[in-house]
Amino acid sequence: MKVTTVLATAALVMGVSAQSNGSPLAPVPNNLLWPRPQKFTSGTSDHTFSPVGVDITIVAVNGNQGALERAADRFRANVLSVGCDAQSNTGDISQVTVTVTGTDPKDLAQADESYTLNTSASGVTITANHTVGALRGLETLAQLVKPVQKLPFHAGPWSITDKPSYSWRGISLDTSRNYIPVSSILRTLDGMSATKLNVLHWHIVDATSFPVVSKTYPDLSNAAYSKLSIYSYADVQNVIAYAADRGIRVVPEFDTPAHTNALSFSKALAPYILCPNGGAGGTTSFWPTCPEPPCGNVNIADPNAAPAISALVKEYAALFTDSVFHMGGDEIENFCLNQSPQFTDIVFGKGAAVPATGTPAWQKGLASSYQKYADAVRPAGKTAMYWEDIVINDGVTVPAGSIIQIWNSWDNAAQKNSLQKVLDLNSKGAGYKIVDTNNDYYYLDGGSGAWLTDRGFGPGGDSWKEDYWTKYKTWERVYTHDPRKSRQENTTDTDGTGLAGPLVGDLSAIIGAEAAIWGERISDSNLDVKLWPRAAAVAEALWSADAFPDPTAKDFFEALPRLEVFRDRLIARGFGAETFQPAWCRSNQCGAAFSGYPAGLAYGNQKPEFW
Ligand SMILES: *[C@@H]1O[C@H](CO)[C@@H](O)[C@H](O)[C@H]1NC(C)=O
Ligand SMILES: *[C@@H]1O[C@H](CO)[C@@H](O)[C@H](O)[C@H]1NC(C)=O
Ligand SMILES: *[C@@H]1O[C@H](CO)[C@@H](O)[C@H](O)[C@H]1NC(C)=O
């Protein structure tokens, strides 16, 4: 069997780009492409090529010739993986030409991911300004081959003009709560590449374990789960190189000052880590010292703490080459600090009355010591990234241009609607960039119930985590969430899920989003099923956002068949991706029978738990 792709000499018959609100998008022939290109036209007849026999010419004078040649090899393998005949070495299409016209920037963050892809009877051309655009184009070309070779194609020639709507399209991977082997990280990068995600936010360490070698404090490896659960420098460099080859950035997170029990395993750092095991103020549990065990908060008032932590940040800022470095900054442990004389003696004076947490006097003392700490540990020459808590809850100001990552949307008055709150800070001149990881939409690890220790603690009692971020987020839910077009959270709504009006402010500050896969109940054995293909739903929502004026009006029946075809590719590439419908629907057009929703059902007005 020859590999049939969707290429032809016939006239272009179809133009597809952004459609008006609510009207169905023109179909993608054979449901081939995910994410949907910004603009494409396609014809009416087929062409074939052989992944073995086709000549792939790379012209990248000022691009990365090596990366593109390796991508071309992967392209051949990916096409073969979906069931094509390796023996065939003929086809109508004999030539694929990939041209990079510009000079790659040193910083992948500055690279242009746009590309054009044209097919004709004789050949395919992919043109991009930068290498990363050509990589995206090769993934698109691989998707022009239908996985299940059952039906003829009626779709060539193709002309595709494509670029991402959001520049930051990430996955946040937690490798601390449970160790994730390097092989699973590399596989995750392959999936990201397939769906044009471009940032691996490596939440590499946390309170629970410290799975990366430190040359500054080698005894931090005592906080790894085992000798086999430690990333060496070579492992990290391997992940970074593998990602870069696929046009993916690796942004590490070394979270402080909270979430730092693991740092107390180093003799040099232990004196600066307060309440590593919870139990502040004579309490017997982790709660209320911190929301999840173990605890640990750097004594941000101790003048020796910042230089000690800074040495570690400096080490990893050199190891991780990306221009962005995530400093953490979430969930400061107020109760811990409040009950620790090592902190309060310095901030409020020895023997002085300590104001209660939450009072203006407490907030002032916290903010002044936290500000000094944050300023002292920031890596030179990099853009710092933080969870929103530091600027929304803790009164710290970080440099303009810093990236604030939004995670919190549950019914916490201080942090609810925090994306809007960061936009409000920007209106007053803060100059922050924003990455959305709203836990009501993007926390993909949920769906297994709360972790045993999470039950019965925290605001709202034992249901809070189950109701919000441990809940399974359906693909429809993540697919219809667009960070710029999402709505403000209703701050007076008591169940934590209500929505209000549109976001207000300069929405261009919102550069993208990340799907998060927290590690409490994740290991390499269930990573794929939790991530895929829902992370791909996030990928299309971010890459193709401009094609959907109203994200809440997306047509699930248009999207799901394409998502299922994309899943076929993931399965062919060795992923344990979940399915979203009975296979019966694949040939019985489930969508056609039910197309359209009941009149008047406005999805954007539903509570998110609707799906
Ligand atoms: C390349 O850069 C030019 C100039 O910025 C831009 O117009 C074009 O869309 C970019 N992408 C491609 C694929 O040419
Ligand atoms: C692809 O076709 C489009 C539309 O005809 C054209 O604008 C573009 O320059 C072509 N690109 C390449 C690489 O041939
Ligand atoms: C916010 O929620 C409250 C309480 O449920 C409700 O009365 C109010 O109408 C909501 N506001 C908006 C703008 O939806």
CA–CA gap between residue 404 and residue 601 (Å, rounded): 34
Q: What is the mean pLDDT of residues 510-521?
A: 96
* Closest to 130 measured CA to CA, from 152, 151, 113, 150: 113
Position 591 scores a pLDDT of 57
**pLDDT, greater one: 494 or 527:** 527
Are 556 and 476 in contact by the 8 Å Cβ rule? The answer is yes
Instruction: Determine which of 48-52, 424-428, 557-561 has the lowest per-residue pLDDT on average.
Output: 48-52
Query: Could you tell me the pLDDT band of residue 381, with boundaries at 50, 70 and 90?
Result: very high
How close is the Cα of 306 to the center of ligand 1, in Å?
Answer: 44
Closest-lying ligand to the alpha carbon of 157? 2
Instruction: Determine which of 240-244, 408-412, 431-435 has the lowest per-residue pLDDT on average.
Output: 408-412
Closest-lying ligand to the alpha carbon of 129? 1
Task: Write the residue with the smallest CA distance to atom 11 of ligand 1.
Answer: 114
How close is the Cα of 163 to the center of ligand 2, in Å?
Answer: 14
Q: Is the pLDDT of residue 254 over 90?
A: yes
How close is the Cα of 81 to the center of ligand 2, in Å?
Answer: 29
Are 166 and 515 in contact by the 8 Å Cβ rule? The answer is no
Model-wide pTM > 0.85: yes
Task: Write the residue with the smallest CA distance to atom 5 of ligand 1.
Answer: 129
Q: Give exposure, 55-64, as e/b (b: 16+ Cβ within 10 Å).
A: ebebebeebb
Q: What is the mean pLDDT of residues 385-403?
A: 97
Instruction: Determine which of 126-130, 137-141, 153-157, 405-409 has the lowest per-residue pLDDT on average.
Output: 153-157
Position 29 scores a pLDDT of 86
Pocket test for ligand 3, best of 488, 490, 607 (most atoms within 8 A of CB): 490
Position 10 scores a pLDDT of 24
Indicate whether residue 129 lines ligand 1 (CB < 6 A): yes
Q: Is the pLDDT of residue 317 over 50?
A: yes
Indicate whether residue 393 lines ligand 1 (CB < 6 A): no
CA–CA gap between residue 140 and residue 115 (Å, rounded): 10
Query: Could you tell me the pLDDT band of residue 3, with boundaries at 50, 70 and 90?
Result: very low
Position 6 scores a pLDDT of 38
**116 CA: nearest ligand 1 atom:** 13
pLDDT tens digits for 80-89? 787 666 555 5
**495 CA: nearest ligand 3 atom:** 5
Indicate whether residue 118 lines ligand 2 (CB < 6 A): yes
CA–CA gap between residue 311 and residue 347 (Å, rounded): 24
* Closest to 306 measured CA to CA, from 382, 258, 372: 372
Indicate whether residue 283 lines ligand 2 (CB < 6 A): no
Q: For the chain, which domains are there? A: 3-162 (3.30.379.10), 168-179+190-209+241-330+368-523+540-550 (3.20.20.80)
Catalytic residue among 331, 489, 514, 540: 331
Position 285 scores a pLDDT of 84
Position 179 scores a pLDDT of 98
Q: Is the pLDDT of residue 589 over 90?
A: no
Indicate whether residue 487 lines ligand 3 (CB < 6 A): no
**127 CA: nearest ligand 2 atom:** 13
Task: Write the residue with the smallest CA distance to atom 4 of ligand 2.
Answer: 159
Position 149 scores a pLDDT of 53
Position 605 scores a pLDDT of 38
Position 52 scores a pLDDT of 78
Q: What's the whole-number average pLDDT of the chain?
A: 87
Position 12 scores a pLDDT of 26
Q: What is the mean pLDDT of residues 500-505?
A: 94
Q: What is the mean pLDDT of residues 546-557?
A: 86
Q: How far is CA 583 from CA 30, 71, 489, in A?
A: 16, 32, 37
Q: What is the mean pLDDT of residues 399-403?
A: 98
Structure tokens at 181: 């082997």
**125 CA: nearest ligand 2 atom:** 13
Position 87 scores a pLDDT of 57
Q: Is the pLDDT of residue 604 over 60?
A: no
Indicate whether residue 125 lines ligand 2 (CB < 6 A): yes
Position 383 scores a pLDDT of 98
Tell the residue number behind the tokens 């969430």, with chain if given.
Answer: 481
How close is the Cα of 32 to the center of ligand 2, in Å?
Answer: 20
How close is the Cα of 102 to the center of ligand 1, in Å?
Answer: 10
Residue partners of 205: CB distance under 8 A and separation at least 6: 175, 176, 211, 212, 253, 254, 255, 262
How close is the Cα of 414 to the center of ligand 2, in Å?
Answer: 51
Q: What is the mean pLDDT of residues 164-192?
A: 98
Please report which residue ranges of 453-589 form alpha helices under DSSP H: 464-467, 475-479, 527-531, 534-543, 556-572, 584-588
Q: Is the pLDDT of residue 414 over 80?
A: no
Q: Is the pLDDT of residue 534 over 70?
A: yes
Q: Is the pLDDT of residue 115 over 90?
A: yes
Determine whether 578 is an active site residue: no
Closest-lying ligand to the alpha carbon of 158? 2
Indicate whether residue 41 lines ligand 2 (CB < 6 A): no
Q: Is the pLDDT of residue 594 over 90?
A: no
Query: Could you tell me the pLDDT band of residue 465, with boundaries at 50, 70 and 90?
Result: low
Query: Could you tell me the pLDDT band of residue 44, with boundaries at 50, 70 and 90?
Result: confident
Q: What is the mean pLDDT of residues 238-252?
A: 98
Closest-lying ligand to the alpha carbon of 112? 1
How close is the Cα of 65 to the center of ligand 3, in Å?
Answer: 56
Indicate whether residue 498 lines ligand 3 (CB < 6 A): yes
Establish whether the linkage from the previous residue to 303 is cis, with ω within 30° of 0: no
How close is the Cα of 159 to the center of ligand 2, in Å?
Answer: 7
Position 410 scores a pLDDT of 65
Position 175 scores a pLDDT of 98
pLDDT tens digits for 326-367? 999 999 999 999 999 999 999 999 999 999 999 999 999 999
Task: Write the residue with the smallest CA distance to atom 3 of ligand 1.
Answer: 129
How close is the Cα of 563 to the center of ligand 2, in Å?
Answer: 27
Closest-lying ligand to the alpha carbon of 117? 2
Q: What is the mean pLDDT of residues 509-513?
A: 98
Position 598 scores a pLDDT of 46
Structure tokens at 349: 């004076």
Task: Write the residue with the smallest CA distance to atom 12 of ligand 3.
Answer: 500
Indicate whether residue 323 lines ligand 2 (CB < 6 A): no
Indicate whether residue 198 lines ligand 1 (CB < 6 A): no
**pLDDT, greater one: 499 or 434:** 434
How close is the Cα of 128 to the center of ligand 2, in Å?
Answer: 11
Position 602 scores a pLDDT of 40
Position 145 scores a pLDDT of 79
Task: Write the residue with the smallest CA distance to atom 8 of ligand 2.
Answer: 116
Instruction: Determine which of 93-97, 109-113, 209-213, 253-257 has the lowest per-residue pLDDT on average.
Output: 93-97
pLDDT tens digits for 206-236? 999 999 999 999 999 999 999 999 999 999 9
pLDDT tens digits for 297-316? 999 999 999 999 999 999 99
Indicate whether residue 492 lines ligand 3 (CB < 6 A): yes
